[in-house]
Chains A and B, each alone.
Chain A
Amino acid sequence: MSEEIIKDVIIGESEDYIINMGPQHPSTHGVLRLEVCLQGETVKYLIPHVGYIHRGIEKMCEANTYPQIIHLTDRMDYLSAHMNNEAVCLCVENALQIEVPEKVKYVRTILSELNRLASHQLWWSAFGMDLGALTTFFYGLRDRELILDIFEESFGSRLLHSFNTPGGLMHDIHPNFQTRVKEFITYFRQKLPEYDQLLTGNVIFEQRAKGVGVMSKETAIAYGVTGPSGRGSAFSCDLRKHAPYSAYDKVQFNEILYTEGDTFARYKVRMDEMWESMNIIEQLVDNIPDDGFSAKMKPIIKLPAGEYFQRVETARGEFAVFIVSDGDKKPYRIKFRSPNFSNLFVMNELAKGGKIADLIAISGSLDLVIPDIDR
C-alpha cells in the first residue's frame, strides 16, 4: 500500500480524486491535515500530515529545570493537562525516591478524574457536532463549565492548571473544594442520562456509529492505540488497573471494555468511563487525609544520572515520559509518548473503504487533540 501511495501522490500518474481535509477544516479539531483520496465518496486511503503546530516542546524542556517543565507539559494535551503534569511529577519523584504525602495522592487522583470527565464531556460534545447534532455541543459545554469553575476556584486557572509540582502540589486545596466536587457529582449524575437520551439511542446515530470504522484488537495493539479507543476493541490497556499510580490502588472501579471495536463501542467506552470516574471521585473525596500538600523538597531539583520512565492514563490513552538525566538540574534528553500520535495513524486502516462521512465519525470517535500529536 505504501508504495502505491508514494507512486500515486508523488509521481501523480493516478487520476485519484484527492482532497485536503484541513488544516482549517471544522472537524479536524485543530491544525491537522488529512490528505484523503476519494473514489466518489468512498475513501481509498488517507495520509495524515502532522507538523502544523510544531513547537518543539521536548527541545524546550531540555533547556528548562524540572519544575519549569510542568508548565510546558500542560500545553501538549490541553484537555488532559493534569495527567500530563502528573506523569512528569511522578517520574521526578520516583527518580529522587521521594514519598509524597497521602493527601497529594488523593488530590491528584480526584483532579485526574475530574479532568478526564471534562475531557470526555468535550469529546462527547464535539463528537455529536461532527455527526451534525449541534445541540450536544451546548449540553456538554454546559456541564464542563462547572468542572472548569472548580478548577478556577482551586488553582486560578481553567485549562492549563499547573497545580502539580515535583514533590506535591503548588499549594493547599481550596476550602470549598470537597463540597463543590460533591455538588458537581450529584448534579452530573442527573445530567449524564440526558446525554444518552439525546444521542445514544437515536436511530440515525446508531446507523452512523454501529459497524463503522471497525478496529480489531490486533490492529489496536499493532498501532499502539491506547485509552478508550483501544478499549473499545477489547484491548485491556487501562494503566489505572495495570500499573496503578497515585491513589488508584485504593479505589474500586471497573475497566470498561467493549469487544465490537467500532465507533459505537468507542463511544460507549467513554460514556461508561464517565460513570466510573464519578465513582472513583466519590470514593476519594470524603476521605482526603490531612498530612500536608507537599513533600520536603530541595530548592533546586537535580536528578541523579540515569534513565527514568513513568506512564499514566490520560483521557486519550497512555501518556509516558522518559527522562535521561546527566545529574544536572535540567534533563539531558526528555521524550514524551503521546497517545494521540498512535491513535491518529490508525485512521487510514479504519477509514479505508468507508464513506467520507464515516471518516468524520471515526476521527471524532478517536478523540484526537492535535497539539499532542505534533509537540
Chain B
Amino acid sequence: MQSTIYNFQDLTGSVDSTFLSWFGTTGALIAELVLVGIVFLAFYALLGLFLVYLERKVCAVIQNRYGPNRVGPLGLFQTVADLIKLLMKELIPIRRSDKFLFNLAPFIVIIASFMAIAATPFARGLQAVDLNIGVFYVMAVSSLGVVGILIAGWSSNSKYSLIGAMRSGAQIVSYELSVGLSLLAIVTFAGTMQLSGIVESQADGWWIFKGHIPAIIAFIIFLIASTAEINRGPFDLAEAESELTAGFHTEYSGIKFAFFFLAEYINMFIVAAIGATVFLGGWMPFHIGSWDAFNHVMDFIPSMVWFFLKAFFIIYIIMWFKWTFPRLRIDQLLTLEWKYLMPLSLINIIIIAFIVLMGWHF
C-alpha cells in the first residue's frame, strides 16, 4: 500500500554499496560511522538553533511582541549571533567546586540526548539504528540526562544549584514512570517495541485514533509527563529562575551553559519525536483504514514532512504550556505524579490490555 512513499532505504543502501566498493567491509563501517556522526552533529546543531528561534517566535506571538526581527531576514540569524556570543564568553571557574565533575556534567547531559536521537525514525528507512527494543532504549538513554544535572548541581558549590539538582532528580525519576507507562500502552497495542515496527503498525490509522479513549488518555499523560521530564514550564522546577535564579546551571557560563541549553531543546525535540512516532504515526501519512484512494493521495506528501509536522505540532503544544501556565511547587508536582498520573496510567494499561485481549481496537 505504501509503494508510493519514497523509501530512504534506497539512498542509504546505495551509499552503503558505494562505500563497500571503495573501502571493504571494515572501512565501509568506519566510513558510515563517521558520515552518520557528521550528519547527526550538523542536524543537532541546526535543530538546536532553530528550536531556540522558534521558541522565541512562539512566545512572542503569545506575549504580544515581535521576537527576534533584526539580525537577518525575520531575525533568522539571531540564534546564530547568540551562539557566537556564547562561544566567546569566558568560562568562569568556580572556587572550591569539583572541577572534574563540573566540566563533565554538560557532556553527560548532551551525550544522553545524542544517544536518544539515534533511534528516531525520521522518514521511511531513515533511521540510524533500528533496535528491536527501540522504545525501551529511548526511555533508558533519555533518562541518563538526570545524572548530568545532578552532577552539575552537586559540583557547582552553590546552594541554589544543589536545590535545583535535587528537585530535578526527584522530578525526572518520578515522571519517567508515567512516560514509560504511557508508551507501554501503545507497545501493548502495536505488539512490538521496535520503533519502525510501531510506525508500520499505524499504516491503516494512527494509534491515537485506533486505540479508542485509552490511547488519548495515554497521549495526554505522555504530554504532561514528558514536559516534566524535559524540565520545561510549568514543570521547570530545576531551573525556577524566580526561585533558584537558574537552579542547576546557575554557575555555568559561556559554552558550557549553552550545552545545557541545547540539550534542553534537543530533549524537547526527542520527546516530540517519540510522541509523534508512537501516538501520531511517525512518518506515516494520514491513512484511514481501507480508503485506498484517500490513502494514496496522502502518500504523495513525503514521509519526512509528515514526521516533522507532527513533531513540531507537539513542540508547539509544549511551548504553549510553558508560556501560559505558572510554575508548580515541588510537592504539588510530586503529588500530581504519584497520586494522579501514575495510578491513572496503571488503570489505563489494564484497560488497554483488556481491549487488546478482546481485539476491540481497529
* Chain A positions near chain B (C-beta within 8 angstroms): 17, 19, 25-27, 41, 128-135, 137-139, 142, 198-199, 202, 204-205, 207-208, 355-358, 360
Interface residues of B in 316-335 (CB under 8 A from A): 323-332
A134-B63 in contact (CB<8A): yes
Q: How far is the CB of B219 from chain A (nearest CB, A)?
A: 20
For residue B112, CB closer than 8 A to chain A, the reply is no
Kindly state the separation between the CA atoms of A356 and B159 in the bound complex, as whole angstroms: 13
Would you call A202 and B245 a contact (CB within 8 A)?
no
Q: Please give, as numbers and ranges, the residues of chain A lying within 8 Å of B275 by CB-CB distance.
A: none
List A contacts of B324 (CB < 8 A).
133, 135, 198
Tell me whether B240 is interfacial, beta carbon within 8 Å.
yes
B327 x A129 contact (CB < 8 A): no
- 28 sample A-B contacts, Cβ–Cβ < 8 Å, listed by A number: A129-B242, A131-B326, A131-B327, A132-B236, A132-B242, A132-B325, A132-B326, A132-B327, A133-B325, A133-B326, A133-B327, A134-B59, A134-B323, A135-B59, A135-B62, A135-B323, A138-B64, A199-B326, A207-B328, A207-B329, A207-B332, A208-B327, A208-B332, A357-B240, A357-B329, A357-B330, A358-B329, A360-B243
Residue B273 at the chain A interface, CB threshold 8 Å: no
Q: Which of A41, A204, A360 contacts B325 (CB 8 A)?
A: A204
Q: How many residues of B contact A (CB 8 A)?
A: 28
Cα of A358 to Cα of B240 in the assembled complex, Å? 13
Given A205-B326, A207-B329, is A356 in contact with B243 using a C-beta cutoff of 8 Å?
Answer: yes
> Is A355 a contact partner of B325 (Cβ separation < 8 A)?
no
Q: Give the nearest-CB partner of A357 in chain B.
A: B329
- Rounded to whole angstroms, the CA-CA distance of A360 and B163 in the bound complex is 15
B121 contacts chain A at the CB level, 8 A cutoff = no
Q: In the assembled complex, how far is the CB of residue A134 from the closest CB belonging to chain B, in whole angstroms?
A: 7
User: Could you say which residues of chain B place their CB within 8 Å of the CB of A199?
Assistant: 326
Interface pair B328/A360, CB less than 8 Å apart: no
Question: Contacts of A360 on B, CB cut-off 8 Å?
Answer: 242-243
Query: From residue B63, how far is it (CB to closest CB) to chain A in Å?
Result: 4
Chain A residues closer than 8 Å to B167, beta-carbon distance: 41
Closest chain A residue to B62 by CB distance? A135
B134 in contact (CB, < 8 A):
no
Q: How far is the CA of A357 from the CA of B244 in the complex (A)?
A: 9
Cross-chain contact A17 with B330 (CB below 8 angstroms): no
Interface set, chain B 286-331, CB cutoff 8 A to A: 323-331
Instruction: Give the residue name and chain of the B residue nearest to A20 (CB).
Output: B159
CA distance A132 to B270 in the complex (A): 24
- State in angstroms the CA–CA spacing of A132 and B241 once bound together: 8
Chain B, 237-266, CB within 8 A of any chain A CB? 240-245
Q: Distance in Å from the Cβ of A20 to the closest Cβ of chain B? A: 9
Q: CA–CA, A138 to B324, complex, Å?
A: 12
Query: Which A residue sits closest to B244, measured CB to CB?
Result: A356
Q: Given A132-B326, A135-B323, are A25 and B245 also a contact pair (CB < 8 Å)?
A: yes
A132, B64: Cβ atoms closer than 8 Å: no
CA gap between A214 and B286 in the complex, in Å: 53
Chain A residues within 8 Å of B243, by CB: 27, 356-357, 360
* Residue with the highest number of chain B CB atoms closer than 10 Å, among A19, A27, A357, A360: A357
Q: Decide if B234 is an interface residue (CB 8 Å cutoff).
A: yes
Expressed in whole angstroms, the minimum distance between the Cβ of A194 and any Cβ of chain B is: 11
- Decide yes or no whether B70 CB sits under 8 A from chain A: no
Q: Answer whether residue B233 sits at the interface, using C-beta atoms and an 8 A cutoff.
A: yes
Chain A residues, CB < 8 A from B64: 138-139, 142
**Complexed CA–CA distance, A135 and B61 (Å):** 10
B160 beta carbon closer than 8 Å to chain A? yes
Residue of B nearest to A142 (CB): B64
CB of B63 within 8 A of CB of A204, answer no
- Identify the interface centre among B65, B323, B327, B329: most chain A CB within 10 Å of its CB: B329
Q: How far is the CB of A207 from chain B (nearest CB, A)?
A: 5
Per the bound structure, the CA–CA distance linking A19 and B160 in Å amounts to: 8
Chain B residues lying within 8 Å of A142, measured Cβ to Cβ, are 64
Residue of A nearest to B160 (CB): A19
For the A-B complex with A204-B234, A357-B240, A360-B242 known, give 17 more contacts whose Cβ atoms are closer than 8 Å.
A17-B159, A25-B245, A129-B242, A131-B242, A131-B326, A132-B234, A132-B241, A142-B64, A198-B324, A202-B326, A204-B326, A204-B327, A204-B328, A208-B329, A355-B329, A357-B243, A357-B327
Is the Cβ of B241 less than 8 Å from the Cβ of A355?
no
Taken together as a complex, chains A and B put the C-alpha atoms of A130 and B242 apart, in Å, by 5
B326 touches A208 (CB 8 A): yes
Nearest 9 CB-CB pairs, A to B?
Answer: A132-B327, A131-B326, A138-B63, A133-B326, A27-B242, A357-B329, A19-B159, A130-B242, A132-B326
C-alpha gap A220/B324 in the complex (Å): 33
Contacts of B63 in A (CB 8 A): 134-135, 137-139
**What are the residues of chain B within 8 A of A129 when measuring CB–CB?**
242
Partner of B328, one of A27, A134, A138, A208: A208
